[in-house]
Chains A and B, each alone.
Chain A
Amino acid sequence: MGVDSVDNPMNRVVALAANCDATQLKLTAAEGYLLSRIDGKTPLRLLREIGGIPPSNVDECVELWLDDGVIEVVAGKPEAKPKGASASAATTATAATAATAADKMDAGESDGQPFPPPIDESMLDERLDISLDIQRRILEFEAGLGRPYHTLLNIDVGSQPKTVKRAYFKLSKEFHPDRFFRKQIGDYGARLNRIFKKILEAHEMLSDPELRGVENQAAASDTFVEPPQQPTSRAALSGPAKTAPDKNAPPEATPAAAPKRPLTKLERLRQRMPFKINHAAIAERRARAAEIFKAAEYSQRAGRLKEAEANIRIAITFDPSRSEFKEALGSLRIEAAGARAAKLMAASSDRMPDSELREVLTLLEDVLPYRPHDPDLNERAARVCLKLGKLDDAAEYAETLIARTPEVATYHSMLGKIERERGNSDEAMSAFETALKYDEEDVDARRAIASMRIGARDAARGGRS
């Protein structure tokens, strides 16, 4: 930024176009603030530094406004003639101090910001029930609504909540529509509504501890949180529109709550506000959940497992975030189902009827989601599935076991048995061989390999004869 040539576009000076009514523009807070600093004196170079807006956004805004005829380049008379970098640096410093430290609205005039902004005197109306002074004040305040929140409330950046509240009350007393109840105030009613809503918004943003941090940080670091809206983003949205409207789409479909456009930071904050999380209510629910969970533990100790289970389920409904509740439900079900399954399994012999096997499997499947890697449970499940002929499931359980602990020979030989049943003799053979690799003594594997070899030989013979 050291170049001080007049040809440099950074030295261009812009001013509000004479025929443009700034009050009719739709501006964001940041844009309004920037516009308020365009005074026909400040060169673009300074504008880029003082607005509290990223320089790239300043450039975009200025270009856009130039295109729209809102502002024009005041050619030929760069008033801030580059006498030296020191003069402009001084101005920059003043402006920066103003923005960061004590950006009072009446301080505006002293450092070159046009507040109160010039108002259109023709809008004053003597016939109304409010004095011309108040009308002027309303018009001026409305024209300056785009200023940063703390400037709007006329308080320092980072003011205490109490100061924020007092400033908000003071302005409410001045601009709340109720102050002019039943008075003939023409279109000032709408203006008051706009002003009060903005004051309300400023109070809300500056007194929310979370949001206030963001606002203050932004004000202090000179990067205003709301970059100017770019018309390009909107054009892009309407771009990929398809033809042939669907006449059948019924109108009763309600919209889903899903904001899609990448939002600016401030927009995101604003939008989040109506959906504020009710921390108190959640805390209450959590407390309830903890209480219910305690009751459940008591029931469990007393051996009333059904009751304990029901209570834990309620606790989870109240507070789904607590993983220990889910774990507790798991171990409870293992205690209940696992006990029964173990009993059944212990008594298990090859002669166990399918119905009982199926019950064992149901119990195991019930418990497994809570302990998906429990080797004991997986092994039992694999065996039962194998017996029931649910080979795919059995293979899955066996593979889970092998994935966790590949060095256990019995798992491999079990997989081998399963693969043999499935008819994949090659896979079965390799599984049995792996089993033997880990444990030479694995009887199942040895026997299986032997019988498979014999079988293969027989098959080969049979085929030849």
Chain B
Amino acid sequence: MSRVIGIDLGTTNSCVAVVENGQPTVIPNSGGYKTTPSMFGISQDGKRLVGHLAKRQAITNARNTVFASKRLIGRRFDDPEVQKSIDLCPYEIVRGPNEDPRIKVGGKTFTCPEIAGIILREMKRVAEEYLSETVQEAVITVPAYFNDTQRQCTKDAGKIAGLEVLRIINEPTAAALAYGMSRQGDEKIAVYDLGGGTFDISILEMSDGVVEVLATSGNTFLGGEDFDRRIVQHLVEWFEENEGMDLRSDTMALQRLKDASEKAKCDLSMRDVVEINLPFIASDSEGPRHLNYELTRETLEGLVHDVVEGTLKSVEQCCVDAGVTPADIDQVVLVGGQTRMPLVQRRVTEHFGKRPHKGVNPDEVVGLGAAVQAAALLDSDNDMLLLDVTPLSLGIGTYGGHFARLIDRNTTVPVSKGHIFTTTRDDQSAVKIRVLQGESDMAAENDLLGEFVLSGIRPAPKGEPEIEVSFDIDANGIVSVSARDLATGKEQSITVSSTGTLSDDEIDEIINEHDLYEVQLKD
């Protein structure tokens, strides 16, 4: 039987792992690195580059190097997040025929699942090289807030990479699995995941290899980049005060400031003070100006203090949702590079009253967890069981544009839930059941997954007929919805199939094209 790998498909870096002799292990790439940049580029002479090779030429070939495409996957072109990326990214983002964002590099347009597929294919290749055998199946992680379309697009990306995706699991859940692999006894753990662009907090309970998600909360617009932005803002203000020049409209200078800020931020996790030195940052009639500033850890902490406090607010909310107090948490697991910051570690320690768990690497733990889940599913020796949950609430649209929630988010699957509904008009002979997914109380603000009509209701005054609507989610997350008229026993149902932004034909086309490309490489 061929091996199944776990892949953490990250915004900035990706990581692949496998369970070997009962132990989850990160697979290093040919350069010896345990993580691979989630970057793809087309060089000046038309070569396709992935990972470190793509990153190395990113500065000189910015227009043809794709990074952070995870922010775009599964979204619509008009999504504010996509519009933000258009402003920030040096590569070109265009509107695709399915209203999806597409990326134009090297004179060719790529869809987002295709870019993700290229990165997954690279991870697959890394694993195959290491294991000396072909790999066909994988478990892939996504952020907890990813909706159905984003998850489906990630699955499509796997397909494009030639992988069958056994499961898509949430990143914090994966981290908990990796942590729980080596633990016995009952524990409640909190996974504090502060990544580049988002913040996720999950509280899980584990006992004897069973892992249950109690609650998930987070902030999709809060992450390490906010830290960088604060530093940039501070530098711009300082420069204005000391040099009398406003750098805000100078995109080139801002990009340099952003890079320098990110680096300074990382350095300050190890040191107390760093020097930011940007010669020729700007010039005016008096000649060139240079930026030379000493940033202390104290100053940085002052700048981002409220951002960190903001994450703790989410932590509190999550504790309330899970029905626990911070003192009930036995272990805190930190995930994401930003959790290396001493301030974050200190505040988390203070909040929970205990030091975070030291045994996991925040960059690798998610990938390891994905491998653990892969083994748990297929390896009969593996004793782990993840009681996974639905990521978003499910329900139907009701009279007046409201959303009647039948299954709350974070409900353990498989699960069935039902409710009785009725008609809104006298002698109404049919009802339309609109299956929706989302967290808003207004139907229009949630995603429509499917709809069907139950007809043949016997004429009766409004409010009298009883229509039982049941939702059923199986262990693979497949949702089926049925409506039954209790008076006549008449029933209608659908199985909601999630759709990504690409049709099956489009995916096949992409796969064929990539196969051609593979052949070309070998020539």
Question: A residues within 8 Å of B by Cβ?
Answer: 162, 165-166, 169-170, 172-173, 176-179, 181-182, 193, 196-197, 200, 234, 237-238, 240-247, 249-261, 271, 273-276, 280
Nearest B residue to A198, CB-CB? B416
- How far is A112 from B308 in the complex, measured between Cα atoms in Å? 62
- How far is A255 from B396 in the complex, measured between Cα atoms in Å? 9
**Quick check: A238 and B399 within 8 Å, CB to CB?**
no
**Quick check: B415 and A242 within 8 Å, CB to CB?**
no
A181 CB, nearest partner CB in chain B, Å = 4
What 10 pairs across the A-B complex have the smallest Cβ distances?
A255-B421, A251-B430, A246-B427, A177-B475, A169-B210, A256-B399, A238-B487, A241-B458, A181-B377, A280-B320
Contacts of B396 in A (CB 8 A): 254-255
**Quick check: A257 and B404 within 8 Å, CB to CB?**
yes
**Quick check: B429 and A178 within 8 Å, CB to CB?**
no
Tell me if B378 is interfacial: C-beta within 8 Å of chain A. Answer: yes
Tell me if B197 is interfacial: C-beta within 8 Å of chain A. Answer: no
**Quick check: B432 and A178 within 8 Å, CB to CB?**
no
**Quick check: A243 and B207 within 8 Å, CB to CB?**
no
Given contacts A169-B210, A200-B415, A242-B460, contact A162 B487 (CB under 8 A): no
**Quick check: B458 and A260 within 8 Å, CB to CB?**
no
B117 CB, nearest partner CB in chain A, Å = 24
**Quick check: A254 and B397 within 8 Å, CB to CB?**
yes
Contacts of A193 in B (CB 8 A): 414, 474-475
- How far is A267 from B402 in the complex, measured between Cα atoms in Å? 23
Nearest A residue to B397, CB-CB? A254
- How far is A246 from B465 in the complex, measured between Cα atoms in Å? 14
Identify A172's interface contact among B210, B397, B407, CB under 8 A. B210
Nearest B residue to A241, CB-CB? B458
Contacts of A246 in B (CB 8 A): 427-429, 459
**Quick check: B398 and A249 within 8 Å, CB to CB?**
no
- How far is A166 from B186 in the complex, measured between Cα atoms in Å? 9
Given contacts A178-B385, A242-B459, contact A234 B486 (CB under 8 A): yes
Identify B407's interface contact among A237, A250, A274, A280, CB under 8 A. A274
Contacts of B152 in A (CB 8 A): none
Pair count A-B, CB < 8 A: 159
- How far is A276 from B395 in the complex, measured between Cα atoms in Å? 14
- How far is A193 from B416 in the complex, measured between Cα atoms in Å? 10
Other than A241-B487, A255-B396, give 16 A-B pairs with Cβ distance below 8 A: A166-B186, A169-B208, A169-B212, A173-B209, A173-B210, A178-B385, A193-B474, A197-B415, A200-B414, A246-B428, A249-B425, A251-B430, A253-B431, A257-B419, A258-B421, A260-B463
Among A177, A178, A182, residue most surrounded by chain B Cβ atoms (within 10 Å): A178
**Quick check: A254 and B431 within 8 Å, CB to CB?**
yes
- How far is A273 from B407 in the complex, measured between Cα atoms in Å? 9
**Quick check: A162 and B414 within 8 Å, CB to CB?**
no
**Quick check: B428 and A253 within 8 Å, CB to CB?**
yes
Contacts of A166 in B (CB 8 A): 186, 207
**Quick check: A249 and B430 within 8 Å, CB to CB?**
yes
Contacts of B488 in A (CB 8 A): 238
A240 CB, nearest partner CB in chain B, Å = 7
Listed by A's residue number, 20 A-B pairs whose Cβ atoms lie within 8 Å are A162-B186, A169-B208, A172-B385, A172-B387, A176-B475, A178-B376, A178-B386, A181-B378, A182-B377, A197-B416, A242-B459, A249-B429, A252-B432, A253-B424, A253-B431, A255-B421, A260-B463, A260-B464, A274-B419, A280-B321
**Quick check: A237 and B414 within 8 Å, CB to CB?**
no
A202 CB, nearest partner CB in chain B, Å = 12
The proximity string for B residues 279-320 relative to A, scoring 1 for CB distances below 8 Å and 0 otherwise, is 000000000000000000000000000000000000001001
Identify A245's interface contact among B207, B420, B429, CB under 8 A. B429
**Quick check: A247 and B429 within 8 Å, CB to CB?**
yes
- How far is A172 from B432 in the complex, measured between Cα atoms in Å? 36
- How far is A256 from B432 in the complex, measured between Cα atoms in Å? 11
- How far is A170 from B455 in the complex, measured between Cα atoms in Å? 44
Tell me if B494 is interfacial: C-beta within 8 Å of chain A. Answer: no
- How far is A276 from B405 in the complex, measured between Cα atoms in Å? 10
- How far is A72 from B209 in the complex, measured between Cα atoms in Å? 47
Contacts of B421 in A (CB 8 A): 255-259
Identify B487's interface contact among A176, A237, A254, A257, CB under 8 A. A237
Tell me if B466 is interfacial: C-beta within 8 Å of chain A. Answer: yes
**Quick check: A179 and B429 within 8 Å, CB to CB?**
no
Residues 406-464 of B contacting A (Cβ, < 8 Å): 406-408, 412, 414-417, 419-425, 427-434, 453, 455, 458-460, 463-464
Identify B453's interface contact among A245, A247, A251, CB under 8 A. A251
Contacts of B377 in A (CB 8 A): 178, 181-182
Tell me if B467 is interfacial: C-beta within 8 Å of chain A. Answer: yes
Given contacts A173-B385, A238-B458, contact A245 B209 (CB under 8 A): no
Contacts of A261 in B (CB 8 A): 420, 466, 486
Residues 202-252 of B contacting A (Cβ, < 8 Å): 205, 207-210, 212
A138 CB, nearest partner CB in chain B, Å = 15
Contacts of B376 in A (CB 8 A): 178
Contacts of A247 in B (CB 8 A): 429
Interface residue tally for chain B (C-beta within 8 Å): 64
Contacts of B432 in A (CB 8 A): 251-254
Given contacts A255-B421, A256-B421, contact A241 B459 (CB under 8 A): yes
Nearest B residue to A261, CB-CB? B466
Given contacts A200-B412, A247-B429, A275-B405, contact A255 B210 (CB under 8 A): no
Given contacts A166-B186, A197-B414, contact A253 B399 (CB under 8 A): yes
Nearest B residue to A182, CB-CB? B378
- How far is A243 from B458 in the complex, measured between Cα atoms in Å? 8
**Quick check: B186 and A256 within 8 Å, CB to CB?**
no
**Quick check: B402 and A257 within 8 Å, CB to CB?**
yes
Contacts of A258 in B (CB 8 A): 421-422, 463
The proximity string for B residues 460-495 relative to A, scoring 1 for CB distances below 8 Å and 0 otherwise, is 100110110100001100000000001110000000
- How far is A181 from B414 in the complex, measured between Cα atoms in Å? 13
- How far is A394 from B73 in the complex, measured between Cα atoms in Å? 67
The proximity string for B residues 366-398 relative to A, scoring 1 for CB distances below 8 Å and 0 otherwise, is 000000000011100001011100000000111
Nearest A residue to B428, CB-CB? A249
**Quick check: B402 and A177 within 8 Å, CB to CB?**
no
B17 CB, nearest partner CB in chain A, Å = 19
**Quick check: B431 and A245 within 8 Å, CB to CB?**
no
**Quick check: A176 and B385 within 8 Å, CB to CB?**
yes
B451 CB, nearest partner CB in chain A, Å = 9
Identify A177's interface contact among B186, B414, B428, B429, CB under 8 A. B414
Contacts of A244 in B (CB 8 A): 459
**Quick check: A176 and B387 within 8 Å, CB to CB?**
yes
The proximity string for B residues 4-40 relative to A, scoring 1 for CB distances below 8 Å and 0 otherwise, is 0000000000000000000000000000000000000
A207 CB, nearest partner CB in chain B, Å = 9
A194 CB, nearest partner CB in chain B, Å = 9
Contacts of A178 in B (CB 8 A): 376-377, 385-386, 475
Contacts of B424 in A (CB 8 A): 253-256
Identify B398's interface contact among A173, A238, A252, A255, CB under 8 A. A255
Given contacts A178-B386, A197-B416, A200-B415, contact A254 B459 (CB under 8 A): no
**Quick check: A243 and B423 within 8 Å, CB to CB?**
no
Contacts of B405 in A (CB 8 A): 274-275
Contacts of B166 in A (CB 8 A): 181
Contacts of B412 in A (CB 8 A): 200
- How far is A128 from B463 in the complex, measured between Cα atoms in Å? 49
- How far is A255 from B406 in the complex, measured between Cα atoms in Å? 14
**Quick check: A243 and B459 within 8 Å, CB to CB?**
yes
Among B317, B386, B428, residue most surrounded by chain A Cβ atoms (within 10 Å): B428
- How far is A172 from B384 in the complex, measured between Cα atoms in Å? 11
Contacts of A271 in B (CB 8 A): 419-420
- How far is A257 from B377 in the complex, measured between Cα atoms in Å? 39
Contacts of A259 in B (CB 8 A): 419-422, 466
Identify A255's interface contact among B317, B321, B422, B487, CB under 8 A. B422
A63 CB, nearest partner CB in chain B, Å = 23
- How far is A260 from B487 in the complex, measured between Cα atoms in Å? 13
**Quick check: A249 and B427 within 8 Å, CB to CB?**
yes
**Quick check: B425 and A242 within 8 Å, CB to CB?**
no
- How far is A171 from B414 in the complex, measured between Cα atoms in Å? 14
